[in-house]
Amino acid sequence: MQRTAWSKAAGSVPSDRLRPAQRPQHVPQKQSKGKGKTQEPAKSKAICKLESLAEGVRKSSGREKDPKGGCFCQAREHDLSPHTPICRSCGLILCAINLPYYACPHCSAVLLSDIARSSLSTRLDEEISKQLAKEEEERLRVVQQARDAEGAFPVLPGSVTPPVLSSTHSRPTAQTHKILSLNSKTKKYTVSSYTNTPVSSRPASRAESEVEEVHRVGAPPLEVDFVRRAPDRNHPWSNMRMEVLYVPVK
């Protein structure tokens, strides 16, 4: 009979009774689907608006009507449309709520010709490029302010002098923090960072507090309201919209 290390037979040494240390089982880790992919920053409201407008100009035929009915305020309540300020068919004044790639809300005429559509598409692409460059410059400025707020290394003689921030407009700067977290199961640590952007105490501007859903003025009635009965010659000043009983003064 073969004797093992766990047998209690006589003559076994004490070391035979020691149990070997159990090796931890290797647990395969699940790879995240998004590993290796960089998350793109969220687009701003201005960029989304310009891209939506440019896409509508390129893809629409111009004959589709606005599903929301358009607006008939004639630029009294909203700003004048910068792209199609007037319908060249019926003469309706169009406000900024009426998008240029939709038909006229009154006569259903196409507001943009082929040449005007191509020109507007090119102009919108240029505005998108300028807005992206402006936002990237602002982002780099905020990052530089955050680095200057944390403290910079001493400048050596003869080196480039770091830019001095203007103290006229004191704005809260964003601060970057790092967090070290330990996974209790895998015994591995991960380092993550986040940026704490302080909220300014100033009131929100008109553009920031603007609500997406704006008030639209409905279309006028198709029938013109008029008085159907003939005027009274004895009382030309009388109200023709309602029956008025004149009582003689005693």
Query: How much is the pLDDT for 239?
Result: 77
Higher pLDDT, 140 or 175: 140
* Residue of 165, 168, 195 lying closest to 179 (CA atoms): 195
Q: Are 181 and 196 in contact (CB under 8 A)?
A: no
Q: Are 150 and 173 in contact (CB under 8 A)?
A: no
> For the stretch 25-50, what's the b/e string if a residue is b when 16 or more beta carbons lie within 10 angstroms of its beta carbon?
eeeeeeeeeeeeeeeeeeeeeeeeeb
Domain boundaries, the chain: 44-150+173-196
- What's the CA gap between 14 and 18, in Å, rounded? 7
**pLDDT tens-place string over residues 50-68:** 999 999 999 988 899 999 9
* Residue of 32, 24, 7, 1 lying closest to 185 (CA atoms): 24
Q: Are 192 and 177 in contact (CB under 8 A)?
A: no
Q: Convert the chain into a string of H (helix), E (strand) and C (coil).
A: CCCCCCCCCCCCCHHHHCCCCCCCCCCCCCCCCCCCCCCCCCCCHHHHHHHHHHHHHHHCCCCCCCCCCCCCCCCCCCCECCCCCECCCCCCECECCCCCCCCCCCCCCCCCCHHHHHHHHHHHHHHHHHHHHHHHHHHHHHHHHHHHHHCCCCCCCCCCCCCCCCCCCCCCCCEEEEEEEECCCCCCEEEEEEEECCCCCCCCCCCCCCCCCCCCCCCCCCCCCCCCCCCCCCCCCCCCCCCCCCCCCC
**pLDDT tens-place string over residues 16-44:** 565 665 555 555 555 555 555 556 678 88
Question: Looking at the predicted structure, is the pLDDT value of residue 10 above 60?
Answer: no
Q: Are 250 and 104 in contact (CB under 8 A)?
A: no
Flag whether the pTM goes above 0.75: no
Q: Are 190 and 179 in contact (CB under 8 A)?
A: no
**pLDDT tens-place string over residues 141-153:** 998 888 888 765 5
Mean of the per-residue pLDDT values for the chain?
75
**pLDDT tens-place string over residues 111-130:** 999 999 999 999 999 999 99
What is the pLDDT confidence band of residue 210, given thresholds at 50, 70 and 90?
A: very low
Own/partner long-range contacts of 201-205 (Cβ < 8 Å, ≥24 apart): none
* Single-letter code of the amino acid located at 52: S
Query: How much is the pLDDT for 188?
Result: 76
The residue-averaged pLDDT of 163-170 equals: 45
What is the pLDDT confidence band of residue 204, given thresholds at 50, 70 and 90?
A: very low
Instruction: Name the β-bridge partners of 178.
Output: 193
Percent of the chain with pLDDT over 90: 35
Q: Are 108 and 34 in contact (CB under 8 A)?
A: no
**pLDDT tens-place string over residues 213-222:** 688 988 888 7
Query: How much is the pLDDT for 166?
Result: 45
Q: Is 241 exposed, middle or buried (0-12, 13-18, 19+ CB in 10 A)?
A: exposed
